[in-house]
Amino acid sequence: MAETAPAPAAGATTGTSEFDRDTAVVPRAPGVYDADLSAGWTIINAVNGGYLLALVGRALAYELPHPDPFTVSAHYLTASAPGPAVVRTQTVRAGRNLSTGQASLFQEEGGREVERLRVLASYGDLDALPDDVRTTAEPPDLPPVEQCFGPDDAPDRGAVPGSSAIADRLWLKLDPATLGWALGAPSGKGEMRGWFGLADGREPDPLSLLLAVDALPPTAFELGLSGWVPTVELTAHIRARPAPGPLRVSISTRNLAGGFLEEDAEVWDGEGRLVAQSRQLARVRL
Amino acid sequence: MAETAPAPAAGATTGTSEFDRDTAVVPRAPGVYDADLSAGWTIINAVNGGYLLALVGRALAYELPHPDPFTVSAHYLTASAPGPAVVRTQTVRAGRNLSTGQASLFQEEGGREVERLRVLASYGDLDALPDDVRTTAEPPDLPPVEQCFGPDDAPDRGAVPGSSAIADRLWLKLDPATLGWALGAPSGKGEMRGWFGLADGREPDPLSLLLAVDALPPTAFELGLSGWVPTVELTAHIRARPAPGPLRVSISTRNLAGGFLEEDAEVWDGEGRLVAQSRQLARVRL
């Protein structure tokens, strides 16, 4: 239960946290934002896709008249590298309750701009939504934090796939039932679950949920596959503003076929509310 | 079981079917296609979102070097009306195994072009995928076709919400367990299931799967809500080329909250293969 979990170490607040610093975008001209992709959010050598989504989501929050991402669809085109980047945004439609925008992230490569990902997103105001909840979804059944494990608990940290720079930014405690892969005995079930927060104690908000849906080790590890599982497309729905405190994240894969798999993520906040749902299509090497 | 279900009436073949005729796009210039939205695919007065997606998907198949939609994300902006439309497409990236494109559908309204939906999509070649299947997903448990019901089986057809022009284009037999709403007794569960085909016998293909994921009555009906449930965003993954014969479609909603719900669709072909998965975010009026 979230209530019994220790809060992540108190530290930076919104605005000065690692997450806010590293997803910052600086307006250069209308619809053009400079950014610097931090090496702190890489898995092995790849910049994490959820981090990229949060950064682009921040640029869209500047562009659009509504503050919060409601549904964000990203198609990943080429692998991003740490370093300078530019985000170009466009308003597609500005409505009363929802507005839709488009954004692309580019990096220079060999003297020309290469597009890394393209995003379509609809934004609204989470605080303006009615308070009704008629969900039948149940939060994942996670053991208490002290019975879960993070990269720091591994005897040989370097041997754990995914133990990369991003591990130092996250406060991640995984359900041992989904950690067979780390011990050489993957369960064969496409499940990954754990407690999620930011290592410096920065509290969750709609932008950090865009990171949370793509920050756990891939379910493919529990299916006995190793190596990179590049995202082709990821769509996230942000359904409510998350309460402070640790989040519960549950990811599942049901259909591994033809060299692709889907990853469905759910994020629950400390008040037991389903705050985000996402699905991605990813490639696997068999 | 699909094997025991009668095949839809044999009739038109691909190319001359109602679906192919009504989703046809005519190249006018590079990346510009003329279309005519048929009144035959409306629900009440709205043009069905899955039909629109298939039409735009066809334009993208012309635009891109790869033939089949793998993942298609659509953000719906304004309600489409039967009549002329234009689709504008753009290649975002052409890779070896996957290419990504963008498309928008416009209609003239009061002398100016209004954008109806914008789509980002990644295309590939389904026939080039390895044949492995390691899915844990199970097909929905549907009663045989003769124990399921379609619009033609309703005593007073006009009284059934959703019994609109599109009903004549589809061969739809719904599981009675998800038909409580039609009898004034919705189950309260966010589920809708049934057998799906095209009324003129046109066999399924990747484009018609884009229709299939959004062609059943909304799950909101079984949750006791009535009226239109407009799609904000829908993303479909096409995972395999469907075998000929009736499809099984299962739709579920777990999270109705804050005036929005998600609808997750699965489409299974007659060989028991999960051929499409989709998720949409839709608005409800409470």
Tell if the CB–CB gap between A258 and B131 is shorter than 8 Å: yes
H helix count then E strand count, chain B? 3, 15
Give yes or no for a contact between A33 and A87, defined as CB atoms under 8 angstroms apart: yes
Q: For B116, how many CA atoms within 13 A lie in the half-sphere containing its CB?
A: 25
Tell if the CB–CB gap between B235 and A279 is shorter than 8 Å: yes
All residues at 6 or more sequence positions from B217 whose CB lies less than 8 Å from its CB, including other chains: B161, B162, B174, B181, B192
- Token readout for A253 is 């894969």
Residues of B in contact with A273 (CB under 8 A): 257
> B172 pLDDT exceeds 70?
yes
Tell if the CB–CB gap between B132 and A286 is shorter than 8 Å: yes
User: What pLDDT digit, counting tens, does each position of A75-126 carry?
Assistant: 999 999 999 999 999 999 999 999 999 999 999 999 999 999 999 999 999 9
All residues at 6 or more sequence positions from B238 whose CB lies less than 8 Å from its CB, including other chains: B68, B69, B70, B71, B72, B126, B206, B209, B210, B275, B276
Give yes or no for a contact between A123 and A105, defined as CB atoms under 8 angstroms apart: no
User: What pLDDT digit, counting tens, does each position of B1-30 carry?
Assistant: 333 333 444 333 446 899 999 999 999 999
3-state secondary structure (DSSP) of residue A276? strand
- Token readout for A218 is 């891939």
Give yes or no for a contact between A123 and A92, defined as CB atoms under 8 angstroms apart: no
Distance from CA of B9 to the nearest CA of A (A): 31
Tokens 């409505």 locate to A95
- Token readout for B225 is 């809500």
Given B78, B137, B281, which is nearest A254 (Cβ)?
A: B137
Which is more confidently placed, A24 or B227?
A24
Per-residue pLDDT band for A131 (boundaries 50, 70, 90) equals confident
Given A70, A134, A257, which is nearest B281 (Cβ)?
A: A70
Would you list the domain boundaries of chain A? 10-126+139-283
Given B77, B98, B240, which is nearest A232 (Cβ)?
A: B98
State ipTM.
0.92
Distance from CA of A119 to the nearest CA of B (A): 8
Instruction: Specify the pLDDT at position B11.
Output: 39
Mean pLDDT of A227-245: 96
- Token readout for B153 is 């089986």
- Answer CATH for B2-126+136-283 from 2.60.40.10, 1.20.1050.10, 2.40.160.210, 3.40.930.10: 2.40.160.210
Instruction: Specify the pLDDT at position B6.
Output: 39
User: What pLDDT digit, counting tens, does each position of B141-167 carry?
Assistant: 999 999 999 887 766 654 445 458 999
Distance from CA of B16 to the nearest CA of A (A): 31
User: What pLDDT digit, counting tens, does each position of B28-68 carry?
Assistant: 999 999 999 999 999 877 899 999 999 999 999 999 999 99
Neighbours of A259 (CB within 10 A): 16
Mean pLDDT of A141-155: 87
Instruction: Specify the pLDDT at position A207.
Output: 98
Distance from CA of A254 to the nearest CA of B (A): 5
Tell if the CB–CB gap between A75 and B240 is shorter than 8 Å: no
Taking Cα atoms as reference points, which of A91, A81, A90, A92 lies closest to residue A116? A81
Instruction: Specify the pLDDT at position A135.
Output: 84
Give the residue on B whose Cα is nearest the Cα of A128. Answer: B258
Given A71, A135, A258, which is nearest B129 (Cβ)?
A: A258
3-state secondary structure (DSSP) of residue A73? strand
All residues at 6 or more sequence positions from A77 whose CB lies less than 8 Å from its CB, including other chains: A115, A116, A117, A118, B92, B93, B100
Cα A166 from chain centroid (whole Å) = 11
Residues of B in contact with A286 (CB under 8 A): 130, 132
DSSP result, A203-256? PP-HHHHHHHTT-SPPGGGGGT--S---EEEEEEEE-SPPPSS-EEEEEE---E
Distance from CA of B134 to the nearest CA of A (A): 5
Tell if the CB–CB gap between B189 and A136 is shorter than 8 Å: yes
What is the CATH topology of the domain spanning A10-126+139-283? Porin (2.40.160)
